[in-house]
């Protein structure tokens, strides 16, 4: 009785594998380096993230959260935005990295060994200082986000009083001051949210 050709091939492979090195890695007994382009744990960069929140909007796994204080903000001088990423909810799609406005604010690392017993530990966050409207205490955005806009706009940033003041206050202390109840022309030069700025401009034009 002759052995069919496919069976002979299988036998040859079986003998060969007996004397060759294992195909699978020895992980977790030995470290393993994932291939280039591997999508692992997403991590924020303290240096490059400006806290704009774009990644939270495009995250399809609902793994990224942008956590702001309640408005109107009670203590504007201490207000921070928390950017949080839950890697137990991440599906490693790469949307956050692809749409990050600075391109390096969040990166999918090569870290893949993410299992843990307590899901509360599967979270990382960074905090960014918030800029708050000097009139109504609503949130404008983070200081780093405005500074990123200023760098992108160059001299055009001087056309916007909020950007101008955020920039100038880095160089020389400029008294912020509270706008008067009844908005007046000088209030244009305050750090204001778009709604308050519109109110000031309309009052300036129409009285
Ligand atoms: S890789 Fe996808 S699912 Fe994971 S945090 Fe980024 S956008 Fe969300
Ligand atoms: S800078 Fe990038 S990582 Fe940071 S909040 Fe914006 S989109 Fe997300």
Whether residue 59 is preceded by a cis peptide bond, meaning omega within 30 degrees of 0, is: no
* 91 φ, ψ (degrees, to nearest 5): -110, 15
For ligand 2, whether the C-beta of 106 sits within 6 Å is yes
pLDDT at 56: 98
Atom of ligand 2 nearest to the CA of 45: 3
For ligand 1, whether the C-beta of 92 sits within 6 Å is yes
For 115-140, what is each residue's pLDDT tens digit? 899 999 999 999 999 999 998 999 99
CA–centroid distance, 83 to ligand 1, in Å, is: 13
> Band of the pLDDT at 18, cuts 50, 70, 90?
confident
For ligand 2, whether the C-beta of 123 sits within 6 Å is no
For 73-105, what is each residue's pLDDT tens digit? 999 999 999 999 999 999 999 999 999 999 999
Atom of ligand 2 nearest to the CA of 53: 5
pLDDT at 188: 76
Burial code of 66-88, b = ≥16 C-beta within 10 A, e = fewer?
Answer: bebbeeebeebeebebebbbbbe
Atom 8 of ligand 1: nearest residue by CA position: 59
Task: Tell me which ligand sits closest to the C-alpha of residue 99.
Answer: 2
The predicted model gives 158-172 an average pLDDT of 82
pLDDT at 8: 86
Atom of ligand 1 nearest to the CA of 61: 3
């Amino acid at each position: 009785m002759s052995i069919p050709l496919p069976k002979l091939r299988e036998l040859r492979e079986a003998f060969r594998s007996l004397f060759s090195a294992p195909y699978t890695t020895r992980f977790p007994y030995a470290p393993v380096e994932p291939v280039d382009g591997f999508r692992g744990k997403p991590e924020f960069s303290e240096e490059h993230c400006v806290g704009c929140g774009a990644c939270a909007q495009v995250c399809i796994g609902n793994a990224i959260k942008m956590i702001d204080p309640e408005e109107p903000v009670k203590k504007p001088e201490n207000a921070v935005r928390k950017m949080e990423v839950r890697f137990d909810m991440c599906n490693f799609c790469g949307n956050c990295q692809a749409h990050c406005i600075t391109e390096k604010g969040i990166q999918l690392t090569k870290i893949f060994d993410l299992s843990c017993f307590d899901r509360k530990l599967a979270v990382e966050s960074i905090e960014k200082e918030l800029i708050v409207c000097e009139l109504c205490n609503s949130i404008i955005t983070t200081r780093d986000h405005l500074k990123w806009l200023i760098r992108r706009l160059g001299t055009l940033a001087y056309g916007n009083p909020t950007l101008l003041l955020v920039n100038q206050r880095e160089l020389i202390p400029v008294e912020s001051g509270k706008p008067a109840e009844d908005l007046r022309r000088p209030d244009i030069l305050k750090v204001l949210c778009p709604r308050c700025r519109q109110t000031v401009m309309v009052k300036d034009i129409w009285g």
